[in-house]
Structure 1
Amino acid sequence: MSLPDMPHVYRQLLDAVDVGIHIIDMEGRSVIYNRKMSEIEDMDKAEVLKKNVMEIFMFQSEEESRLLQALRRGAAHKNEKQTYFNFKGQEITTINDTFPLVSEGKRIGAVEIAKDITKLERISRENAREKREAGFTFDQIIGQSPVLREVVHHAERAARTSSSVLIYGETGTGKELFAQSIHNAGTRAPNPFVSQNCAALPDSLIEGMLFGSVKGAFTGSSNHPGLFEQAEGGTLLLDEINSLSAPLQAKLLRAIQEKSIRRIGDVKDRPVDVRLIATMNEDPAAAMRENRLREDLYYRLSVVSIIVPPLRQRRQDIPVLTEHFIEKYNARFQLQVPSVTEDVAEIFSAYDWPGNVRELEHLIEGAMNLIYREEPIDYTHLPLHIRTKFSEERPILTAPEVSISTVTAKPLKTYLEEAERNYIHAMLEKNNQHVTKTAAELGVSRQSLQYRIKRLRF
Structure 2
Amino acid sequence: MTLPIMPEVYKQLLDAVDAGIHVIDMEGHSILYNQKMSEIEDMNKEEVLRKNIMDIFLFQSEEESRLIQALRHGRFHKNAKQTYFNFKGQEITTINDTFPLVYEGKRIGAVEIARDITKLERLSRENAREKRAAGFTFDQIIGKSPVLREVIHHAERAARTSSSVLIYGETGTGKELFAQSIHNASVRAAGPFVSQNCAALPESLIEGILFGSVKGAFTGASNHAGLFEQAEGGTLLLDEINSLSAPLQAKLLRVIQEKSVRRIGDVKDRPVDVRLIAVMNEDPAAAIQENRLREDLYYRLSVVSIIVPPLRQRKQDIPILTAHFIEKYNERFQLGVPGVSDQVKTIFSSYEWPGNVRELEHLIEGAMNLIYRDETIEYSHLPLHIRTKFSGGAPALPAPEPEAAVITPKPLKTYLEEVEKEYIETMLTRNNQNITRTAAELGVSRQSLQYRIRRLRSE
TM-score clears 0.5: yes
Per-residue deviation, 1:222: 1.6
1:338 pairs with 2:342: no
Give me the whole-angstrom Cα distance separating, in 1, the residues matched to 2:231 and 2:275: 9
State yes or no: 1:126 paired with 2:125.
yes
Query: Equivalent residue for 1:380?
Result: 380
Aligned to 1:85: 96
Maintained 8 Å contact 2:322/2:360: yes
Residue of structure 2 equivalent to 1:71: none
In 1, the alpha carbon distance for the partners of 2:364 and 2:395 equals: 25
The Cα offsets for residues 399-418 of structure 1, whole Å up to 9 and x where unpaired, read as: xxxxxxxxxxxxxxxxxxxx
Q: 2-side partners of 1:219 and 1:83: how far apart? A: 10
Change in Cα spacing, 1:296 to 1:83, as seen in structure 2 (3 Å) is farther
CA-to-partner distance for each residue in 1:166-225, whole Å, 9 max, x for gaps?
000000000000000000000000010000010111122221111111112123322111
1:338 is paired with a residue of what secondary structure? coil
Aligned AA for 2:136? F
Partners of 2:341 and 2:164 lie apart in 1 by 44
Q: Does 1:181 align with 2:192?
A: no
| Aligned alpha-carbon RMSD (Å) | 3.5
* 2:15 matches 1:4: no
Deviations 1:380-425 (A, max 9, x none): 000000000001444889xxxxxxxxxxxxxxxxxxxxxxxxxxxx
Rounded to whole Å, the distance in 2 between the matches of 1:273 and 1:244 is 22
**Cα distance, 1:251–1:45 mapped onto 2, change above 3 Å:** farther
Q: Secondary structure at the match of 2:285?
A: helix
Q: Following TM superposition, where does structure 1 have runs of at least 4 consecutive aligned residues deviating by more than 4 angstroms?
A: 5-8, 10-15, 17-22, 41-48, 114-117, 393-397
Q: Alpha carbons of 1:275 and 1:88: their partners in 2 closer, same or farther (altered >3 Å)?
A: farther
Determine if contact 1:38/1:45 at 8 Å carries over to the other structure.
no
Counterpart residue identity of residue 174, structure 2: G
User: Where does residue 369 of structure 1 map in the other structure?
Assistant: 369
Match of 1:141 in 2: 141
Q: Where does residue 97 of structure 1 map in the other structure?
A: none
What is the aligned-residue identity percentage? Answer: 74
For the Cα contact (< 8 Å) 1:20–1:40, is it kept in 2? no
After superposition, the C-alpha distances for 1:307-339 in whole angstroms (9 at most, x for unaligned) are 000000000000000000000000111110000
| 1:59 paired to 2:60 | no
**8 Å Cα contact 2:183/2:193 also seen in 1:** yes
Q: 1:3 to 1:249 in 2, by over 3 A?
A: farther
- The alignment partner of 2:98 has SS state of coil
Structure 2 CA distance for aligned equivalents of residues 379 and 150 of structure 1: 34
- The amino acid across from 1:84 in the alignment is I
Secondary structure at 2:207's aligned position in 1?
helix
Q: Distance in 2 between matches of 1:393 and 1:5?
A: 72
1:44-98: CA deviation from partner (whole Å, max 9, x where unpaired): 77999xxxxxx9984369xxxxxxxxxxxxxxxxxxxx96224289xxxxxxxxx
SS at match of 1:195: strand
The residue that corresponds to 1:199 in the other structure is: 199
Q: For residues 307 and 33 of structure 2, what CA distance do their matches in structure 1 show?
A: 52
Whole-angstrom distance in 1 between the partners of 2:117 and 2:79: 23
1:324 aligns with: 324
Q: Distance in 1 between matches of 2:6 and 2:253?
A: 52
In structure 2, what residue type is equivalent to 1:141?
A: I
CA–CA separation in structure 2 for the residues paired with 1:57 and 1:286: 56
Q: CA–CA distance in 2 between the matches of 1:2 and 1:146?
A: 79
DSSP-derived class of the 1:391 partner = coil
- Contact kept, 8 Å, 1:56 with 1:86, in 2: the verdict is no
Structure 2 residue aligned with 1:157: 157
Deviation at 1:37, TM superposition (A): 2.4
Aligned residues: 339
Partner residue of 2:420?
Answer: none
Q: CA deviation at 1:7?
A: 5.4
Task: State TM-score, norm by structure 1.
Answer: 0.67
Q: Is the 8 A contact 2:341 2:376 kept in 1?
A: yes
The residue type paired with residue 204 of structure 1 is S
Aligned residue type for 1:59: K
Aligned counterparts of 2:99 and 2:308: Cα–Cα separation in 1 = 51
Match of 2:214 in 1: 214
CA distance in 1, matches of 2:146, 2:329: 27
Distance 2:75 2:49 in 1: 11
Seen in structure 2, the aligned counterparts of structure 1 residues 60 and 298 have a Cα distance that, compared at 3 Å, is closer
- Offset at residue 35 of structure 1 (A): 2.9
Instruction: State the AA in 2 paired with 1:87.
Output: T
Q: Is the 8 A contact 2:346 2:395 kept in 1?
A: no
Give the Cα separation in 1 of the matches to 2:315 and 2:79.
Answer: 64
Describe how 1:220-231 pairs up with structure 2 within 5 A: 220-231=220-231
Shift of 1:137: 0.2
Taking the aligned partners of 1:392 and 1:229, their CA distance within structure 2 comes to 57
Counterparts of 2:327 and 2:120, CA distance in 1: 39
Give the structure 2 partner of residue 237 of structure 1.
237
User: Structure 1 20/383 Cα, relative in aligned 2: closer, same or farther at 3 Å?
Assistant: farther
Deviation at 1:38, TM superposition (A): 3.9
Deviation at 1:121, TM superposition (A): 1.5
SS of the aligned residue for 1:237 comes to strand
Residue pair 1:262, 1:270 contacting (<8 A) in 2 also: yes
